[in-house]
Structure formats: structure tokens, C-alpha cells
Amino acid sequence: MAITGNGSLTISLSVFVISAAFLLKVEGQNLGTDNVSVIEGEMATISCRVKNNDDSVIQLLNPNRQTIYFRDVRPLKDSRFQLVNFSDNELRVSLSNVSLSDEGRYVCQLYTDPPQEAYADITVLVPPGSPIMDSREDVVSEGNETELTCTAMGSKPAASIRWMKGEQELTGEMTVDETYDRMFTVTSRLRLTVSKEDDGEPVSCIIDHPAVKDLRAQRYLEVLYQPEVKIVQAFPEGLTREGENLELTCIAKGKPQPHQISWLRVDDDVPSHTVITGSDLFIENLNKSYNGTYRCVASNTVGDAYDDYILIVYDAPTTIPTPTTLNLDNTQDSRADEGAPQKIDHAVIGGVVAVVMFAILCALIVLGRYFARHKGITAHLGSLAVTMLPLA
């Protein structure tokens, strides 16, 4: 029907207003969903959510655009799909026992004009099998290179492989192969040069994959190394002197254990009466002609090693008389004389008596002379003096 003039303008404006209102209404109904990652054999859940729904119909389609659920009705015969929740604002469906064939893009559809769609990608994760670890050789000698391989088979996506030696992380060379069924096999090769310190060290390959945790394999390195040799002086404990005996012990360790230990004297022969018993060397009655370098050599299948002992014979100790201790201190410890009997020196006493008697005699003579002058008794005193002389 054709309408011209003002009527045509009125109808056009009406159609515009109706269309704009419809578009605003559609844009106000926001349809949303989320991508899902699920491990093979487990359950995935798809949620179709609507904001500000006006009773429009929600349905879920599979990657082949077949309807799985129309509102709360399931047209599809696959019973692994189950309704979890249905309301005006959500259609939530679970899929159990997920397989690789279930992977793809699922469609949440809202029946508006035009219909709205939101997409949920289901990604199926397949964990790798137990890693297979191998070594080029079971036993390796120190200083040589060995190679270890670690393989993680049948995973999706491809796994990554890390290496650890003890607490040290190492880097390997990794290759990835894709199989026909979208699965991946990953192999990592680790090359390392070993030392004797690596003997018994654990080496682990660790598999990193979103579908599995703490998946690893481990081996212990077995390293052969040449002997370590050390000479110990068992006797004497101090200096080696003339006339004494000398005993040396050779301590040798290696892998394998040294099968031969021998003694020699560098640049000369060992003394003729030296006794060597396995790892022990014994020399009696040392003298300075035995001075020199004595060497212990140990051997195993890896190689030889040695240690040297330098013998220096010193003079025998001389005998020195025990010195007499002089007491330069005139003081005496009083406690030393306590309780000791006193000794009488008769010679000293006799001398004292003689001096006293001589003094008395002299005094008498002087007195005699004095009295002789005064009273005439000289004769009497003289006889008295003579009488006392024997007493002196």
C-alpha cells in the first residue's frame, strides 16, 4: 500500500521507533558462556547464561549444530548429556565420560530476532602415560659423557620434559611427534659428562602437562673412578729419629675397589730389611741413609693414583744429666720445720764457753792488778786465776 505526503512520513517514523525499541530490547539480553577444558574420561559442564531474558527460548547445539537441549527437553539421544539447571536465565548441561570425539565448539542459542549465539569450546586433555627413561650405558667412567632419554607418549596437548640431577636443573634436547589421532609423543635427550661426585646421584625426568601432576621417572648414576690414595704415619707419632721404627699405612679407595697396592722409593731402592704387607710398610732401626720419598701406588680398572711420603730421619735424642736445683731464695717455708727435732751443735757451744772464760780471766787479771796496788792481795788472785784455767 502506497502512502504519500504526511502519512508516509508518519508510517516511516513509526517503523523506525519500533525497530529501535526492538534492537534495544535484544541488546539488553546478553547471552554468555565459557570455554571448558576437561580430562578425557571426566565430566564437562556447559552453561548458557542470559541477562535480562524476556522469556526467549534457550537451546544448546553440538559442534554439528544438532540440538542437545531445547529449553529443558533433550532431543538428542546421547544419554551422557544431562540437564543440571534450567531457568529463564540459565541452561546448564553436563557431559560425562568425555572423549576426544566430543571436542569442538558448542553453541548457546537464544531465540530472538535475529537469534543470538555464544560459543563454548570444549578442549579434551589426554594425560601421557608413565614416562620411559633409558640410558645409553648402565655404568660410565669419570670424565666420559653419557646420554639419557625420557619419553612421554600419547598425550594431548604435547607434554614438556624437565631434567633434574639432584637439586640441579638441567636442559635436554626435546623432539615432538604428532600421531594420526591428534596425540603427541615427546622425547627428551640429556647429555652430561660425569665425575666421581656424580656416583649415586639421582637423575629425574619430570613431565609437565595440564592433565597430570608429579609424573616422573628416576635413575641413579653409576660412575667408575680411579683410586684416591693417602699415606698415614701409624708410628711413631712424632718425629722420626735414628734407631726408631717406622710404620706407614696406605689408604686407597676407588670404584671399583683398588685391586693392587704397591710401595716404592722414588729414585732409589727401599731398604733391604723393609717389610711390606699389603697396604702397610714397616722399617726398623731407622738411620739417615733411609731419607727419601716413599710412594704408595693403587690401581683399579679405571687407572692408577699415588701418594708420597717424605722421610726425614733426625738425630737420636741425647742423654742430659738432671740439673741440680739451686735454692736462691734465703727464705724458708716455715711449715717445712714444724715438728722437726732440733739438732745441737757441740762445737759451737764449746767455742762460746771458751770465749766467755777468756773474758772472765782477763777481767780477773785486771782486777788483781788493781787490788794488788791497793791491798796487796795479788798473790791470792793469781792463785785463783791459775785454779780456773783448767776449766777453760
Binned at pLDDT 50, 70 and 90, residue 52 comes out as confident
Q: Report pLDDT for 6.
A: 44
Q: Report pLDDT for 362.
A: 79
Q: Report pLDDT for 259.
A: 95
The strand pairing partners of 47, in sequence order, are 92
What's the rounded Cα separation, in Å, for the pair 203 and 72?
56
Average pLDDT over residues 158-174: 97
Q: Report pLDDT for 304.
A: 96
Q: What is the pLDDT of residues 279-329, one digit of tens each?
A: 999 999 999 999 999 999 999 999 999 999 999 999 998 866 555 444 434
Question: 61-65, 130-134, 178-182, 208-212: which has the minimum mean pLDDT?
Answer: 178-182
Grid coordinates belonging to 340: 722437726
What's the rounded Cα separation, in Å, for the pair 282 and 83?
93
Q: Report pLDDT for 235.
A: 96
State yes or no: pLDDT of 84 exceeds 60: yes
Q: Report pLDDT for 113.
A: 84
Q: Which has more pLDDT, 164 or 114? A: 164
What's the rounded Cα separation, in Å, for the pair 108 and 84?
15
Q: Report pLDDT for 369.
A: 73
**In Å, how far are 248, 255, 283, 297 from 230, measured between CA atoms?**
10, 16, 19, 10
State yes or no: pLDDT of 3 exceeds 50: no
State yes or no: pLDDT of 19 exceeds 60: no
Q: Report pLDDT for 181.
A: 81
Measure CA of the first residue to CA of the last residue in the chain; give whole Å. 191
DSSP alpha helix (H) spans, the chain: 6-28, 346-375, 378-388
Handedness of CA 83, 32, 111, 29 (dihedral sign): positive
Size (the chain), residues: 392
Q: Report pLDDT for 131.
A: 97
Q: Which has more pLDDT, 48 or 322? A: 48
Amino acid, res. 29 = Q
Binned at pLDDT 50, 70 and 90, residue 21 comes out as very low
State yes or no: pLDDT of 80 exceeds 80: yes
Q: Residues 85, 90, 96, CA angle at the centre, nearest 5°?
A: 45
Binned at pLDDT 50, 70 and 90, residue 7 comes out as very low
Q: What is the pLDDT of residues 110-130, one digit of tens each?
A: 988 888 999 999 999 999 999
Q: Based on the number of CB atoms within 10 Å of its own CB, is 203 exposed (0-12), middle (13-18) or buried (19 or more)?
A: buried
State yes or no: pLDDT of 59 exceeds 70: yes
What's the rounded Cα separation, in Å, for the pair 230 and 253?
9
Q: Report pLDDT for 381.
A: 45
In this structure, are strands 173-178 and 223-235 parallel, antiparallel, or unpaired? unpaired
- The rounded mean pLDDT for the chain is 84
Average pLDDT over residues 224-228: 97
Assess contact for 117 and 31: CB atoms under 8 A. yes
Q: Which has more pLDDT, 381 or 170? A: 170
Question: What DSSP designation does 291 have?
Answer: -
Average pLDDT over residues 94-105: 97
Q: Report pLDDT for 360.
A: 85
State yes or no: pLDDT of 372 exceeds 70: no
Binned at pLDDT 50, 70 and 90, residue 89 comes out as very high
State yes or no: pLDDT of 218 exceeds 80: yes
Q: Report pLDDT for 367.
A: 76
Q: What is the pLDDT of residues 320-358, one digit of tens each?
A: 655 544 443 433 333 333 343 444 556 667 777 777 788
Strand order in the sheet with 116-125: 36-39, 116-125, 104-110, 58-61, 67-70
Q: What is the dihedral of CA 253, 254, 260, 264, to 10 degrees?
A: -60
Assess contact for 166 and 185: CB atoms under 8 A. no
In this structure, are strands 116-125 and 36-39 parallel, antiparallel, or unpaired? parallel
State yes or no: pLDDT of 385 exceeds 50: no
Residue recorded with cell 784455767: 389
Q: Report pLDDT for 325.
A: 46
State yes or no: pLDDT of 108 exceeds 50: yes
Q: Residues 315, 321, 326, CA angle at the centre, nearest 5°?
A: 135
Q: Respond yes or no on whether the N-terminal peptide bond of residue 258 is cis (omega within 30° of 0).
A: no
